[in-house]
Amino acid sequence: MTEEVYASPVASFRVTDPPAPVFTVPVVKEGRAALERINQEMGLAFDDWDLEYYTGLFRCVCVCVCACFRAHRHVVIQATRRLLVKEVG
């Protein structure tokens, strides 16, 4: 959710400002400290529950994705090769 105070009535919701650059928050590598840092820098208002929940969530997703890739890497490699052949071929 975002909030903004308008000095005059809104005539359009057209966005004219360029978007902020995309960046990575290294939660898997640095854990909760990474979330605490970005929370402070951006004023996200995460409380202890949020910090614990998102730290656990990202670590769990990473473990699941990595385990799935290891278990099925032959399928991923074959699919990637097929895509590359279509792109190049």
pLDDT in tens, 5-60: 778 888 888 888 888 888 888 888 898 999 999 999 999 899 999 998 888 888 77
Q: Which residues of 53-71 are buried (b: 16+ CB within 10 A; e: fewer)?
A: ebbeebeeeeeeeeeeeee
Helix then strand then coil, in percent of the chain rounded to 5, is 65, 0, 35
- The reported pLDDT for the residue numbered 34 is 93
Alpha-carbon distance values, 7 to 4, 10, 11, 19 (Å): 10, 9, 12, 22
Q: Between 66 and 3, where is the model more confident?
A: 3
- The reported pLDDT for the residue numbered 46 is 92
pLDDT, one tens digit per residue, over 62-89 is: 656 566 556 655 555 565 556 555 544 4
Q: How many CB atoms lie within 10 A of CB 41?
A: 9
The pTM (predicted TM-score) of the whole model is 0.54
